[in-house]
Amino acid sequence: MNTLIPSRQSAWWSTSSVGVSETHRELDRSLSQVRKYLASTVSGLERVETLRRLRDVVRESLAVGWDGYGATPVTPVTYAWACQFLMALPSFIPMPEPAVNPDGDISFEWYRDGQHVFAVSIDQRGLLHYSGLFGPKSTYGTDQFAGELPDEIARQIHRHLSDTD
């Protein structure tokens, strides 16, 4: 028997498999292909669109003074770190809005309203600087990016997405 179980960590269905027949194995393979297809068309498409928006904002910030006030251009290293950060976000986290800061860092923002915002910026050393406003409460900090979303930043994104203040 194959039972569909909603996963708490993702929008997709996971399976609990107890069947042994050839029919079961074929159904299990088909369901696996459907899950992969859905993941690639929804969360994968959202990620691709966010990477495109990132590319576009970086293209506009490659020259010294790109903002008209002497802003520092984005370096290829910072851009590479930013792409890796986006790719490290789990599929169940909504994609943030990318932007370039005047110091050449790249930032990502999850915005709900003026009182509920979480932002992460990454610099050319791979340092992640984050800050969040959760109604009357706030947080900030720094963490090193090493290819995976740091636990504290994951907790703060979850806090922002689930905050009901």
Q: Which H, E and C letters describe 78-132, residue by residue?
A: HHHHHHHHHHHCCCCCCCCEEEECCCCCEEEEEEEECCEEEEEEECCCCEEEEEE
Q: What is the pLDDT of residues 6-60, one digit of tens each?
A: 333 333 333 444 556 776 676 666 666 665 655 555 567 888 899 999 999 999 9
Starting at the edge strand found earlier in the chain, the sheet holding 137-144 runs: 97-100, 106-113, 116-122, 127-134, 137-144
pLDDT at 3: 35
Question: Which pLDDT band, with edges at 50, 70 and 90, does 163 fall under?
Answer: low
Query: What average pLDDT does the chain have?
Result: 83
pLDDT of residue 149: 96
pLDDT for 21: 72
What CA–CA distances, in Å, run from 60 to 34, 37, 122? 38, 33, 18
47-97, pLDDT tens digit by residue? Answer: 889 999 999 999 999 999 999 999 999 999 999 999 999 999 998 899 999
Question: What confidence tens digit (pLDDT) does each residue in 97-155 have?
Answer: 999 999 999 999 999 999 999 999 999 999 999 999 999 999 999 999 999 999 999 99
Calpha distance 84→96 (Å, rounded)? 14
Q: pTM higher than 0.95, yes or no?
A: no
